[in-house]
Amino acid sequence: MTAEDTGPRFVIIGAGMAGLMCSVKLLEAGLSNFIVYEKADRLGGTWRENTYPGIACDVPSHLYSYSFAPNPEWSHVFSAGDEICAYLESVANRYGVDKYVVYGAEVSRLEFDHGRWRIELADGRRDEADFVIAATGVLHHPNYPAFEGLDDFAGAVFHSARWDHTVPIAGQRVGVIGTGSSAVQIVSAVASTVGDLRLFQRTAQWIMSVPNPPIDEETRQTYRSDPSVMNKVREGLSSRFEELSNAVVDADSPRMQLIEELCRANLEENVADPDLREKLRPDYRAACKRLVMSPTFYQAIQHPNSTVVTEAIMRIEPAGVRTEDGQLHELDVLVLATGFRVDRFLRPIEVTGRGGVRLDDVWSERPSAYLSVSIPEFPNLFLLNGPNGPVGNFSLIDVAELEFGYVMQLVDLVRSGVCREVCAFREATDRFEADRIEAAQRTIWATGCRSWYLDDRGVPAAWPWGFDRFRRAMSRPTLADFQLVT
């Protein structure tokens, strides 16, 4: 610690989108006594780990940007993953926060002891902090399917989030398991270059056709010379996404019905073969699963090299995938676009709170947190994009910025001497959960589909109200809901 590193000590876990934002905001607040522990060898989080063909964000670029660092250089309305990663790196360099990041530093243990957090890294290094901010993300623990014989496949097999770029796919027989956003983007990107493409579909997806035009140089120059124009674009996008959030949390809303009509029209108008059209037609309502955005998927899946396989997978064999109808689909490459374990959050870090309370015990049934930010009996520990927050087709950058502003108001209670420890009361957390579960029944996510939004009870594990309500909730903590230990 240097002379300038006075004040409370912060440890931030993760150098992805949220962790970098925390670093910038702490420096803006004059708080430089912090460190960011990143388990990987470079920053970027989701956008570092996911490098599969066609990867892009389904939130418009000018909305998926920090409010304090608008980017006039976005090349498309929806930017590719490498461009987003480059943006995050540029922000880290511009604000000088990269020097606070320690790479190859996986946090393995957190223990609250005598008013401070004791931190242990996987390599045995130790640290202490007054506050811990978990910016660990949601989409970083790949979900691997338990298919019989998966290890016996003779070709290359990898998860979409662990794409092996040493494996050539041009002209090869490629199988993709899964139909979420990653699978849709992969199929759209490779259908015309592989020799044969098999999409193994357990559940059809509704597809919203949203164009992704390039942003021309004249427009980018306007953004450079007059940032207020770019800010107005961001405000307009934010307003439209709030309308979307208000639609999906009210399954019977007129706007939700309009979204469904657009998805149906996209299928009807763009898939010519009636048999294929019915294979691709979901049996649930649009947006019950996270709405998939793609202007090119239906064209790609109708490529002469493409086949949709709807029969269930029986097992994986050395030569390919055997389906329940007995057919062997011979393959050279198998891609597992099977999503993520979205209930991990802080885990597998071993976290022990006040009085020896273990997070694994508290979350033994399912993860929860008050307003997705604070966990009872885990004082001075805060989560960004934690359990039950807004994840449904929203900009998680906006979510994280709002949550950080909320967290800093709690931190300021400690800094000003109001208390030494702060965390949500169990009663407040239980009340929030009860209200959330009741409201979740009215959302589109509860209308009869299986999705990663649902917890083990089938209850949508997401913020069930509009984004405007989330913004209000984050504007000021209700102190009566927090245990303040003096």
In this prediction, residue 371 has a pLDDT band, given cuts at 50, 70 and 90, of: very high
Last residue of a domain, one of 336, 370, 392: 336
Same domain, 154 and 99: no
Same domain, 312 and 184: yes
Residue 264 within a domain: no
Residue 79: pLDDT over 50: yes
Residue 1: pLDDT over 70: no
- How many other CB atoms are there within 10 angstroms of residue 476's CB atom? 10
Out of 107-121, 198-212, 405-419, 454-468, which region has the weakest mean confidence (pLDDT)? 454-468
Same domain, 399 and 467: yes
Residue 244 within a domain: no
Residue 312: pLDDT over 60: yes
Average of pLDDT values for 413-429?
A: 98
Same domain, 75 and 186: no
Same domain, 201 and 120: no
Contact 445, 451 (CB under 8 A): yes
Average of pLDDT values for 77-96?
A: 97
Which domain covers residue 72, as residue numbers? 10-141+341-485
User: Per the structure block, which two tokens stand in for 206?
Assistant: 């509704």
User: Per the structure block, which two tokens stand in for 440?
Assistant: 């979740």
Looking at residue 92, what is its pLDDT? 98
Residue 474: pLDDT over 60: yes
Looking at residue 138, what is its pLDDT? 85
Residue 405 within a domain: yes
Question: What one-character-per-residue DSSP string does 167-194 give?
Answer: S--TTSEEEEE--SHHHHHHHHHHTTTS
Same domain, 349 and 429: yes
Residue type (1 letter), 113? D
Question: What 3-state DSSP class applies to 114?
Answer: coil
Residues above pLDDT 70, as percent of the chain: 98
Residue 302: pLDDT over 90: yes
Same domain, 181 and 320: yes
Q: Which helix (H) or strand (E) holds 360?
A: helix 359-362
| Integer Cα distance of 285 and 260 in angstroms | 7
Return the higher-pLDDT residue of 242 and 393. Answer: 242
Same domain, 32 and 98: yes
Residue 223 within a domain: no
Last residue of a domain, one of 336, 356, 374: 336
In this prediction, residue 268 has a pLDDT band, given cuts at 50, 70 and 90, of: very high
Last residue of a domain, one of 336, 368, 394: 336
Total domains in the fold of the chain = 2
Residue 246 within a domain: no
Looking at residue 461, what is its pLDDT? 92
Residue 257 within a domain: no
Same domain, 332 and 373: no
Average of pLDDT values for 401-420?
A: 98
Same domain, 329 and 381: no
Residue 3: pLDDT over 60: no
In this prediction, residue 394 has a pLDDT band, given cuts at 50, 70 and 90, of: confident
Residue 60 within a domain: yes
Residue 134's CATH number: 3.50.50.60
* Residue (of 398, 22, 430, 38) closest to 245 by Cα position: 398
Q: For the chain, give the mean pLDDT.
A: 95
Same domain, 471 and 352: yes
Looking at residue 241, what is its pLDDT? 84
| Integer Cα distance of 50 and 163 in angstroms | 7
| Integer Cα distance of 350 and 108 in angstroms | 6
Same domain, 97 and 43: yes
The pLDDT tens digits of the residues spanning 314-349 come to 999 999 999 999 999 999 999 999 999 888 889 999
Residue 248 within a domain: no
